[in-house]
Structure 1
Amino acid sequence: MSIKTILSNILTEIAAQIDTINEAQLHEFKNAIIGANHLFLAGTGRSGLMISAFANRLMHLGLKVSLITEVSKPKANKGDLLILGSNSGETKSLIAYAQQAKDLGVKVILFTTNGTSTLAKLADNIVIIPIRVDKLSQPMGSTFEQLSLLTYDSVIYSLMESLQQTPEIMKCRHANIE
Structure 2
Amino acid sequence: MGQEITELLERIDPAAFAAVVEAFGDPSRRWFFSGQGRSGLAAQMSAMRFMHLGRNVHFVGEVTGPSIRKGDGLLIISGSGETPVSLSYAKIAKAEGATVVTLTHKPKGSLSQIADVVLPVPVVETAQFGGSLFEQTSLLLLDAVVLEMARALPDAHATMSYRHTNLQ
Common fold, TM-score beyond 0.5?
Answer: yes
Give the letter aligned to residue 129 of structure 1: V
* Structure 1, unpaired ranges of 5+: 1-9
Deviation at 1:60, TM superposition (A): 0.2
In 1, distance between residues paired with 2:65 and 2:153? Answer: 24
Counterpart AA for 1:153: D
The answer for unaligned runs of 5 or more in structure 2 is none
Verify: 1:128 aligned to 2:103, yes or no: no
The normalised TM-score by structure 1 is 0.90
Counterparts of 1:154 and 1:172, CA distance in 2: 20
Moved over 2 A (4+): 162-165
Q: Distance in 1 between matches of 2:85 and 2:154?
A: 35
Is the alpha carbon distance of 1:128 and 1:167 closer, same or farther for their aligned partners in structure 2, counting shifts above 3 Å?
same
Contact 1:41 1:51 survives alignment (8 Å): yes
Aligned position for 1:154: 144
Corresponding position: 1:56 with 2:48: yes
Percent of aligned positions with the same letter in both sequences?
A: 35
TM-score by length of 2: 0.95
Higher radius of gyration, 1 or 2: 1
1:143 and 1:167 map into 2 onto residues whose CA distance is: 28
CA positional deviation for 1:69: 1.1
CA-based RMSD: 1.2
Q: CA deviation at 1:79?
A: 1.1
**Structure with the largest fraction of helix:** 1
Aligned residues: 167
Gap change, CA 1:165 and 1:122, over 3 Å in 2: farther
Aligned-partner residue type, residue 66 of structure 1: H
Q: Deviations over 1:15-60 (max 9, x none)?
A: 0112211111111111111226100010011111011000000000
CA distances 1:84-106 after superposition (whole Å, capped 9, x unpaired): 00000011110110000010000
Partner of 2:13: 22
